[in-house]
Amino acid sequence: MLENGFHDVPAGKVTVVVTFLEMTAKPAMKAGALPDGVAFRRVTPDLDWYRDIFTRVGGMDWLWFGRLMLEDSALEAILADPGVEIYTLTRNGVDLALMELDFREDGACELEYFGLASELIGTGAGRYLINQAIERAWTKPISRFHLRTCTIDSPQALGFYQHVGFKPVKQAIEIADDPRLLGVLPETAGPHVPMLRP
């Protein structure tokens, strides 16, 4: 059991508090329209497309790194799995969002990654995209739709997910190697997260 008080974080690590959220029935939803000139589409991504959108949506601003740490074969296996569905929002031929639904667990769907590039934040696109996630998740025979967010993600993320019907069910502390020190992301990524050099 973790005792109360402060606990040192080793140099070279990133530490976050992760909140796990879920919904066990489809909620009532507020309408959300796509901004003018923006299209929603499903993607069958290759590695280059996926790593690019992952980095632009979450890597640089919010220090997303989980999928960037995977070997090509491991990431390809996820992207090719029929239980994984990936969607984006496109404007003027540029993809600006990532929504990843993972149905690989029987009876459940995980919103594995969800985010917008900065160009779409504040346009209403997030409401539209989360509505699509909820609708698509609950068209399958599931009893649980769940996700994780953490303290280095957008400060609006936790409130947004609760507002659309997800409920917090547990928290955990995650400690990981700092991807900036490994060269997975540039040192300018996640400027709100201190870098503790060894």
pLDDT tens across 37-89, in order?
Answer: 999 999 999 999 999 999 999 999 999 999 999 999 999 999 999 999 999 99
CA 16 to chain centre: 15
As a CATH number, domain 13-27+38-177 is 3.40.630.30
Q: What are phi and psi of 87, to 5 degrees?
A: -130, 160
- Residues 52, 149: Cα–Cα separation, whole Å: 21
Q: What does the mean pLDDT of the chain come to? A: 96
Structure tokens at 35: 């901004």
**pLDDT of the residue at 71:** 97
- Given this model, what pLDDT does residue 96 score? 98
For residue 161, pLDDT beyond 80: yes
Neighbours of 15 (CB within 10 A): 19
pLDDT number for residue 31: 83
Band the pLDDT of 1: cuts 50, 70, 90. Answer: confident
Question: Average pLDDT in the 154-175 region?
Answer: 96
In this prediction, residue 60 carries a pLDDT of 95
